[in-house]
């Protein structure tokens, strides 16, 4: 049917089907756009004030779309828009919504996905990381790739630019996230290519008041002020380990907590919030071996884990993308699939993360019988992705090389003899431009290559 633009709801697990005052509706669904699952991607989700959800992402033509769902996850409508790569969607508190892509191109839509207006950025070359509605104004952060500086942008609700600021003192930096605090803003990001974290304070007009650079090589992705404390919490990745970091309001580190042991496992935190039930909730990805899972971790304000849950599939990837906390104190989150004809997977849990997480195979039961090079995950990625491969016998000269789209070698990730086993290697594209890249595995007489997309 044209109304659904080929959308097929192919899988549904409903744990509960009615709203009870003390309970949450929980469900999970896999969705197909009936297109190429290797390209289509979901990026973000928002809850509608009237109930239900709107998601954004891009289809197989790399075209921005929005998908409307009911409170039970049923598909209502699907619309595409005249921009590429839907990246973030926010609620404008007037029953309308704003979609942003990586270039800061904006589309305002109503609750049925109809376009109200579109808006272009004030400068070319912007690479966006975050958008927020604060005091009925729109704020956007990221990097101006033309001049290699972090930027901060304010627009009004009609899309007109109020101010645009970039910061020469933090050249080769990118802002990852920000919050408003008192009469100004606190922002953090990373320098490229060192990954050193920086922290800045701005006044209400975006003017720089204070900046602080640390030697911590943490690629941060989320920032939150801790409720009832004059402290900040950061979430991100260091090497291949997910971590959270607590600092004071000037950016000085109180502690860092790591959730993973490192290769061959891989973890990252992509979202971090004050939980409505107290404490901090983090969301991201984790893989103990081959297949990525989405992971929720609930912590207290000292960084101690209260509970954690994994969600995914035994024979498919589930590449986590974005989470929100819903009005019933549960969670709704999205991610991408790559097999079985599906494109996306969406899960709605209760306040304890319960729905029906898929168990993970015990690594010790896996017998490696041949050479294999797996598709990197996440893909597309920004800026870190994981490349996994397996070797059935020891003593092989193993080389893993990354090439640009012209076939020029840009980085050697592995070049050594390796024993039989499964391996996971990080590729950090922080210092490389957006585009298509190839990675090739050489192991004895075995040679195989795959394509990956860096999207900033």
CATH of the domain at 403: 2.60.40.1930
Which tokens belong to 320? 């986590």
98: in domain: yes
CA distances in angstroms from 11 to 60, 163, 196, 340, 455, listed in the order given: 21, 46, 43, 11, 29
Predicted local distance difference test score (pLDDT) of residue 201: 95
Quick check: is 274 in a domain?
Answer: yes
- Specify whether 299 is located in the same domain as 261: yes
Tell me, yes or no, whether 54 and 91 share the same domain. yes
- Give 125's DSSP letter: T
Query: What is the distance between the alpha carbons of residues 177 and 249, in angstroms, rounded to a whole number?
Result: 15
Q: What pLDDT is recorded for position 21?
A: 38
Nearest by Cα to 232 from 207, 205, 209, 212: 212
- Tokens linked to 287: 């893989």
353: region left, alpha or beta (phi > 0 left; psi from -120 to 50 alpha)? left
Q: Judge if 281 and 317 occupy the same domain.
A: yes
Same domain, 320 and 397: no
Boundary (domain end) residue, out of 349, 376, 395: 349
- Give the rounded distance of the alpha carbon of 17 from its chain centre: 29
pLDDT digits (tens, 9 = 90+) for 141-185: 999 999 999 999 999 999 999 999 999 989 999 999 999 998 899
For the chain, the domain total comes to: 2
Residue 303 maps to a domain: yes
Q: What is the pTM of this model?
A: 0.76
Whether residue 296 sits in one domain with residue 246: yes
**449 shares a domain with 338:** no
Answer for the pair 81, 374: CB distance below 8 angstroms, yes or no. no
Considering the domain boundaries, does residue 373 fall inside one?
Answer: yes
End-of-domain residue from the set 287, 317, 349 = 349
Q: Which of 349, 384, 412 is the last residue of a domain?
A: 349
| Together in a domain, 47 and 80 | yes
421, two tokens: 């086993």
Indicate if 250 and 372 belong to the same structural domain: no
Q: Could you give the CA distance from residue 185 to residue 206 in angstroms, rounded to a whole number?
A: 8
What CA–CA distance (Å, rounded) separates 122 from 129? 16
Query: Residue 374: which domain range?
Result: 367-454
Lowest mean pLDDT among 117-131, 241-255, 280-294: 280-294
pLDDT at 391: 84
Establish if 149 belongs to a structural domain: no
Same domain, 246 and 104: yes
The answer to whether residue 263 is domain-embedded is yes
What pLDDT was estimated at residue 299?
94
Are 234 and 108 found together in one domain? Answer: yes
- One domain for residues 323 and 379: no
Q: Please give the average per-residue pLDDT across 2-30, as a whole number.
A: 51
pLDDT in tens, 40-83: 889 999 999 999 999 999 987 889 999 999 998 888 989 999 99
For residue 235, what is the domain's CATH number? 2.130.10
pLDDT at 368 over 70: no
Report, as an integer, the average pLDDT of 101-112. 95
DSSP 375-389: PPBSSSBSSEEEEEE
Does 139 map to a domain?
A: no
At 160-170, the pLDDT tens digits run: 999 999 999 89
Task: Judge whether 250 lies within some domain.
Answer: yes
What is the percentage of the chain residues whose pLDDT exceeds 70? 89
Query: Does 343 lie in the same domain as 398?
Result: no
């Amino acid at each position: 049917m044209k109304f659904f633009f080929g959308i097929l709801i192919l899988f549904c697990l409903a744990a509960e089907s009615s709203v009870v005052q003390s309970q949450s509706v929980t469900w999970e669904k896999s969705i197909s756009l009936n297109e190429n699952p290797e390209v289509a991607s979901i990026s973000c989700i928002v809850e509608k004030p009237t109930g239900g959800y709107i998601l954004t992402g891009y289809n197989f033509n790399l075209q921005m779309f929005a998908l409307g769902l009911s409170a039970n996850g049923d598909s209502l409508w699907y619309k595409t828009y005249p921009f590429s790569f839907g990246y973030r969607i926010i609620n404008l508190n007037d029953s309308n919504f704003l979609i942003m892509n990586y270039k800061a191109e904006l589309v305002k839509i109503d609750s049925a996905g109809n376009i109200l207006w579109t808006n272009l950025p004030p400068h070319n070359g912007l690479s966006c990381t975050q958008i927020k509605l604060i005091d009925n104004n729109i704020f956007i952060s990221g990097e101006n790739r033309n001049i290699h500086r972090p930027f901060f942008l304010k627009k009004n609700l009609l899309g007109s630019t109020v101010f645009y600021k970039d910061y020469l003192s933090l050249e080769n930096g990118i802002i990852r996230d920000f919050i408003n605090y008192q009469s100004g803003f606190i922002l953090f990001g990373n320098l490229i290519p060192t990954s050193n974290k920086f922290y800045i304070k701005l006044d209400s007009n975006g003017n720089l008041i204070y900046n602080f650079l640390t030697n911590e090589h943490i690629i941060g992705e989320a920032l939150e002020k801790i409720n009832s404390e004059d402290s900040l919490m950061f979430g991100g990745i260091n090497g291949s380990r997910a971590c959270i970091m607590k600092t004071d309001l000037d950016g000085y580190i109180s502690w860092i907590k790591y959730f993973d042991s490192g290769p061959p496992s891989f973890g990252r935190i992509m979202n971090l919030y004050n939980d409505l039930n107290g404490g901090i909730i983090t969301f991201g990805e984790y893989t103990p071996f081959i297949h990525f899972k989405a992971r929720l971790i609930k912590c207290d304000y000292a960084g101690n884990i209260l509970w954690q849950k994994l969600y995914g599939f035994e024979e498919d990837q589930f590449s986590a993308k974005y989470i929100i906390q819903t009005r019933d104190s549960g969670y709704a989150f999205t991610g991408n699939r790559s097999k079985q004809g599906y494109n996306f997977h969406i899960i709605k849990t209760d306040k304890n993360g319960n729905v029906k997480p898929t168990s993970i195979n015990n690594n010790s039961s896996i017998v490696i019988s041949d050479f294999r090079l797996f598709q990197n995950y996440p893909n597309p990625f920004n800026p870190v992705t994981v490349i996994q491969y397996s070797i059935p016998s020891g003593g092989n000269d193993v080389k893993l090389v990354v090439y640009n789209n012209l076939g020029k070698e840009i980085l050697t990730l592995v070049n050594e003899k390796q024993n039989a086993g499964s391996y996971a290697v990080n590729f950090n594209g922080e210092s490389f431009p957006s585009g298509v890249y190839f990675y090739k595995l050489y192991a004895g007489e075995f040679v195989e290559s795959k394509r990956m997309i860096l999207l900033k």
